[in-house]
Structure 1
Amino acid sequence: MHILMVLAHPLEDSFAASVARVARQALEGRGHTVDLLDLYREGFDPRLTVTERGSYFDEHYDASEVSGWITRVKAADGLVLVFPQWWFNFPAILKGFFDRIFAPGVAFDHDPAGGRIVPRLGNIKLFWALTSTGSPWWVVHLYMGNPVRRLLKRGIAAFCSKGVDFRMISLHDMDRATEAKRKRHLERVGALVSRIGMRKTLRGFPHPDP
């Protein structure tokens, strides 16, 4: 598979960068190809432009300013997102990536009758998120209802591609994680990601983020 890995963290020595590195090594070790899209290092501007918003419901959405990134999404068989959760949500730069790249005529088509949008990213068969959060598991799941997972799985992934393999692997309580805990999580990420494409193995493997 050809994987587009999208990294969203401003610090080059962040834990997210370590996760991306481990995941990339695991994927390439299994023969997959990886296109690393580091949003900060590539200078991605998350702001939807006046032209983009103005053409959002026109017959042709004007994606000329982000065409290079769109080409990379369309060339991928799968997406792997690597990011921290801040305030139980995406970093702003990743939200802007969805706003500008997952656009009409690219990720979906509007239903002329006003119904559910029609997915266009049929090339994307796999949609994984590798993330961390400063809050404990019980706060994310029981108190907040795991909003990031819900948005990614039920919203973005489901509305843009049919039958996509969705997974989210999370490190909770990141702010108090010891070095040993972080190391164990990196090993877990490597083990799970190395099984991408091995469906029989995945069926019998514990869910990454129940």
Structure 2
Amino acid sequence: MHALIVVSHPKPNSLTHAVAAEVAAGISASDPIHSFEIADLATEGFNPSFSAADIAAHLREAAPPADVLAEQARIARADALVLVYPVYWWSMPGLLKGWIDRVFTNGWAYDDSSNRDVEKKLSHLPIHLVAIGGASLRTYARRGYFGAMRTQIDHGIFDYCGAPVRTSELLVPTDASGAARSHLDVAHAIGRRLFDVNGPAARSAA
């Protein structure tokens, strides 16, 4: 089994990258037959800008641009998609959102024809979301931020495409020392159970 781990953070030495690496380490530890690829969107220079060419692809007037086709091919090789990202303004970073905007195209991720219901085309692709937050869990719970994030990301994006969200994890600071180590342990555990027969249950921190 093969996982595509997409990480969105401009600093390679960030906690976000460390968490992504631990997910990968967990996958390797779970079974030597499993593999992974890490897509570092910042380092690779992915362009998140939704252009006229992307609009043409959405309207089915032209094929998607070459960089989008390359990303779709990477996803097609994967048995699971893992997104690791910091929380910016109670959502994912613009780079990652732009990746989704451009890559999850009409006709590939879903089929939205005006004369029929939306066809969900990614039901075969389990999704694992690992968000790193800067506010306390109490803040997320009191204001309903994590619930709002799950509505817009888990349901608004992935359920629209039919992709089942198996993990929805929010890692937040704690008062205890070793919080970063705790985050890495959670990430490792996510990787270890990524390809369990029954799949990991979706988790909620709200």
With structure 1 as the length reference, what TM-score do the two structures score? Answer: 0.86
- Paired position in structure 2 for 1:136: 136
Would the alpha carbon gap of residues 191 and 65 (structure 1) be closer, same or farther in structure 2, given more than 3 Å must change?
closer
Aligned to 2:60, the other structure's residue is in SS state: coil
Deviation, 1:150, is: 2.1
Matched to 2:188, the amino acid is G
Identical columns (%): 24
- Paired position in structure 2 for 1:12: 12
Matched, 1:193 2:182: no
With a CA cutoff of 8 Å and minimum separation of 6, indicate the structure with the bigger relative contact order.
2
1 CA distance for matches of 2:142 and 2:166? Answer: 21
- Say how many residue pairs are matched: 203
Equivalent residues in 2 for 1:104-143, closer than 5 Å:
104-113=106-115, 115=117, 117-124=118-125, 126-143=126-143
Equivalent residues in 2 for 1:27-46, closer than 5 Å:
27-31=27-31, 32-46=34-48
Match of 2:180 among 151, 158, 182: 182
Deviation, 1:63, is: 3.4
| Residue-by-residue CA offset, 1:43-87 (whole Å, 9 max, x unaligned) | 100001111113422355433342111110111111000100011
Matched to 2:50, the amino acid is L
2 CA distance for matches of 1:111 and 1:177? Answer: 50
Aligned to 2:90, the other structure's residue is in SS state: coil
8 Å CA contact 2:22–2:191 kept in 1: the answer is: no
8 Å CA contact 1:153–1:166 kept in 2: the answer is: no
Would the alpha carbon gap of residues 200 and 65 (structure 1) be closer, same or farther in structure 2, given more than 3 Å must change?
closer
Pairwise CA RMSD of aligned residues?
2.3
8 Å CA contact 1:16–1:83 kept in 2: the answer is: yes
| Residue-by-residue CA offset, 1:107-162 (whole Å, 9 max, x unaligned) | 111133264x21112431x2111111111112223313423222221122211135
2 CA distance for matches of 1:123 and 1:60? Answer: 26
Deviation, 1:192, is: 3.1
- Paired position in structure 2 for 1:98: 100
Runs of 4+ that moved beyond 4 A: 176-179, 199-203
With structure 2 as the length reference, what TM-score do the two structures score? Answer: 0.87
5+ residue gaps, structure 1:
none
2 CA distance for matches of 1:131 and 1:140? Answer: 12
Matched to 1:89, the amino acid is S
